[in-house]
Structure formats: C-alpha cells, structure tokens
Chain A
Amino acid sequence: MSRGGTPPDLTRHEPADPRSPQGDRGSRILAPLRAEGARGVAIAVLSTLVFFTLATVAVLNSSGWPEIKQAFFDGEIFREAFPKILEKFTRNVVIFLSAEGLVLVLALLLAVLRNLTGPVFFPLRLIATAYTDLFRAVPTILVIALLGFGAPALRLKGVPNSDMFWAIVALTLVYSAYVAEVYRAGIESVHPSQVASARALGLSRRKTLRFVVLPQAVRRVIPPLLNDFIGLQKDSALVAFLGFTEGLRQAQIIQFENFDFTPYVALALVYVVITIPQARFVDWLVARDRRRRQAAIGV
C-alpha cells in the first residue's frame, strides 16, 4: 500500500517513541542513499541533474514538441481555464464530501449486518452480502447513468431530478459496497479473546460490538478506508457523463471552444494536488501503525 514510502519530513516531527525500533522511518527512495553516505548523495544529485537536463533538452528539441505544447500546455488557455474549472470543481467537492459522509454510515451498517450471527438474521446477512456483491460487480459509470438518467425519467412525485443528488446517491451506493468490505475485514481482525473478555463481564452482544469491537475495528481500517475515498473523489468526475457541469464537464466545454486539451491538464493538476497529500497521509498512517505494532510486540 505504501508504494511511495514515507516522506522523512513527516515522520521526523513525530515524538520519538523509546520502544520503537529505529530504521524503516524514511522513504524507500532515499534510504539506500543514506546508507552510502555523502559521496553517494553527491553522485545521486549529479546524476539526477544530468539525467533531467538531458531529458528536458531532448523533449524540447524533438520535432513534435511545439504541437504538443500548444495542444496540452498552452499557458494562455491554462490561465483562462483554470479558475473556471476550479469554480466548477467545487461541485465535485460537494459531491464527494457528501458521498463520503453517507458511505461511512451505510457501509458500517452493511458490515454490522453481515456480521450478525444466528439463524434469525439470515435474511439480513443475505441482503448485505447480495448488496456488496452487486455494487462491486456493476461499473460505477453504469450506476451513475442508471440513476442519473433513469430516476428523473420516472417523473415520480417527491423524487428529486437534480443530477448532483443522483450523483451523490450513485457514488454512495457503489462505494458503500467497497467500504463495507473494509469495515468487515476490520471487525474480523479484532481477536475473539476481546469479545470473550467483554462477554465475560456480562456485556450483551450489542454492547460488546459497540464498546469493544467497532472502536478497534474502525481504528485499524482508517488507512484502507482513506484509499477508497481517494478513489471516490476521482470517480466524482464520472458525473460529467450526465452532462452535469462539474470540473471535467467544464474542462470539456473549454476544450470544445478552443480546440485545445490544456483544460484537461489543468483539471488533472487539481486532482493531483488534492490526492497526493491524502495518499501520503495514508502512507504515514500505515507506517505509524506498523511502528506501534512492532513496539507493542517488543513489550
């Protein structure tokens, strides 16, 4: 999961835990350098400079570069498009933040239903299982189309026909299926002896779940849950398919006006800027959990 490793500047500010083993703290890219010392660092800096200078010169002098620059990296179009895209991107933000809030609740409900024991609850377990299977099987864009085009077409009373509403519903339905599985893995990772201890005190099943199992499960699943949320945020662009003017649709409109793809690059930049810090934060959480687990084992 932590493919990129952990940026050292984040971990360094952590208060040092005397029990945590040193090492494995910095990034996987930089760690081998540290082992080689000053000479290694000097060689790395030099070779990096030479490599990227040569690469830049090669790209800028290649025969197709002016056309590429004009089509994708047109500064003037960028300056014009970026504020407009950013303005419409706030709609994506509303969509994904709303969906994330709803997913947290619906997914937890599904996970708890799936973990109910006892024959009486079989239908509930069945529904929860069928739900997660179904919504992980159907492509997200199809669910968005089905609800976004389909539901308003029914012209039912009281059914909203706002694209944004159905986009939120569709993303919530799809991502709840994924996050429910994440929660479920977390619930199952809590050791049975924890349940035995709580039940031995005379706590009911429900109170055991609420006070002992879920708090531990939720803590453990925060990193994979945030990863799913990054996916959800990116998938908010699929709403453009409904013709709803969010970030991607706005970029497309400007592209049509100028016959130029720079607006897409501008939007991509927005996604990169909001997504990478979150991915790094997840990496940091994973690394911190690993350290804590090692510390706990060391006791």
Chain B
Amino acid sequence: MSVNGAALVIEGLHKSFGRLEVLKGIDLSVAEHEVVCLIGASGSGKSTMLRCVNLLEPIDRGRIFVEGDEITARGVDVNRIRQRIGIVFQAFNLFPHMSVMRNVTLGPMEALGMPREDAEDRGLGLLERFGLADKRDDYPDRLSGGQQQRVAIVRALAMQPDLMLLDEVTSALDPELVAEVLNVIRELAEGGMTMVIATHEMGFARDIARRILFLDEGVILEEGPPEQIFSSPREPRTQRFLQSIIEAGRM
C-alpha cells in the first residue's frame, strides 16, 4: 500500500472504548478524487472510524496518513490536521447562536486567520453554489433539517479540505429532505472531492461510490466496486446484511 499519492491511508487501526473493541485492525487506502462508501450495521464501527480519522477520538494502535503526512505521529498539531479534513455529522451540529454566514466563516476566520471579507466572499460563493445564499442571515432554528445539513456541508467546505468525511448525514432527515442533501454530495463527487461516506442509503452508495466497504464487527469484511458488492457479495454476512436492507425496503 503506497502512502504517497493516496489522499488517505489507514494502517492497522485499532480502537477500543473501555473493554469494547470497536475497530479491530482497519486497513484502507483512498486515492485522490475517490469516493468510498462505508456500509454496515449500526455499531459496526463506521462512525468511530471517521471520528478517528479526524482525530476526534484518540486511537489505540495503527497509523493514519493524509496526503502522505502521518497525522497520528507524536507532536503533530491536531488543529492543523483537522483544518485539512472536513467532517459532517448525522445531527448537523450547527452553532445555534450564530447566523448561517457566521457558522460558515467561523472556521476560516478563527482557525485559518482569514480576514472577514475574504471569509464572507468564500462563504457566499459556497452558499450560492448550494442554493442557500438567501439564508445567509438566518439562524439555524429557522431552517429545515435539509437546509441545516447543507449549511453544515458548506461549513466544512469553507475550510477547503483535502478530504471530506460524511457520517450518515441523511439519517436524521425526514425522507422528503434526503434528496437535496444527496444532490449536494453528488455535486461534490463530480467536482472531484475525495470523500469517505458512511451511509445507510444503498441506492445512493451504488450511484456515487467507486468502492464500497462493508464494515462488520470492527473489520472491513468485504470491499469492491458497487456492482460486485450489491449484486454478488461473497461473504455470507454481507449477503445477510444486504438481504435485511432489501427486506426493510431501503434499496
């Protein structure tokens, strides 16, 4: 596995919460501009893996590289690392006491030290691109869930990250609001953004991902192109998982 030339490399990642081992040795390489979808049951470790990549969870063992730099090395500046990696959460987590524009400019201004006008120019450009320019002065509680999640994506993009991590970003949305968020992610993929996406939206994963990873009990049990994973999964556990998804009518 080559560390150089890959956007993200994970080697032997282990993570436990107390006695519970959530990640039991994850190895993964994501190329520049590649979109990878993580699927798997709740509790299979998808969220934990994404949080580890963003250093929101300290890891127990293993190494993680972003654009060739080891981010798990001793003495790295975690704030600098996080500036390069955008993450969007299931629960939006917008700052409720700030306007949409301030949500979007906070990172560039306070983490990157960008002057206000530049940050607002960048923010407005992104808000316009995703049809949110008229919401710039609104507070998050005035927005629908779909709008809030789109703002959360814009907030992450405003940092111009090398890599985006999306953690079940449509799971908290009403069904009719899912599409608008998925369309934003599609546009990002078409723009060449490198993304690791944990999702329960199998149809979307099939459309957008170059590669699907099936996470089961803390390991990547099976991976491959979407056609292969969704039509002829090799592992019995992958088959069972996909079967349950089909039975739930979510595919």
Contact = CB atoms under 8 A, between A and B. Distances in A.
Contacts of B159: 201-202
B110 A207 contact: yes
Contacts of A204: 79, 111
Contacts of B129: none
A203 B91 contact: no
B141 A201 contact: no
Interface in A183-210: 193-194, 196-204, 207
Interface in B106-136: 106-107, 110-112
Interface in A11-53: none
Contact of B91 (A193, A198, A215): A193
Nearest to B79: A202
Interface stretch (B10-18, B34-42, B80-88): B80-88
A65 interface: no
Contacts of B141: 292, 295-296, 299
Given A202-B83, A216-B97, A296-B141, A197 B89 contact: yes
A203 B107 contact: yes
Contact of B82 (A194, A202, A207, A292): A202
Contacts of B81: 202
B155 interface: yes
Contacts of A201: 82-83, 106-107, 111, 155-156, 159
A222 interface: no
B249 interface: no
A276 to B, nearest CB: 30
B54 A203 contact: no
B246 interface: no
B89 A202 contact: no
B93 A196 contact: yes
B161 to A, nearest CB: 10
A196 B141 CA distance: 19
Contacts of B111: 201-204, 207
Given A201-B111, A202-B107, A203-B106, A196 B83 contact: no
A202 to B, nearest CB: 4
B83 A194 contact: no
Interface residues of B, number: 28
Interface string A216-229: 10010000000000
Given A193-B93, A197-B95, A203 B79 contact: yes
A200 B95 contact: no
B191 interface: no
B96 A199 contact: no
Nearest to A191: B93
Nearest to A295: B141
B235 to A, nearest CB: 33
Contacts of A295: 141
A200 B56 contact: yes
A215 B81 CA distance: 26
A295 B142 CA distance: 10
A97 interface: no
B174 to A, nearest CB: 11
A86 B182 CA distance: 67
Interface in B11-52: none
Contacts of B86: 200
A212 interface: yes
A122 interface: no
A202 B162 CA distance: 14
Contacts of A196: 56, 89, 93
Nearest to B96: A216
Contacts of A197: 89, 93-95
Contacts of A202: 79-83, 107, 111-112, 159
Contacts of B82: 199-202
A237 to B, nearest CB: 37
Given A193-B89, A197-B89, 19 more contacts: A193-B91, A197-B93, A197-B95, A200-B54, A200-B87, A200-B156, A201-B83, A201-B155, A201-B159, A202-B79, A202-B80, A202-B112, A203-B79, A203-B107, A204-B111, A211-B95, A211-B106, A211-B110, A299-B141
| CB-based closest 8 A-B pairs | A202-B83, A201-B107, A202-B111, A197-B93, A202-B82, A202-B79, A200-B87, A193-B93
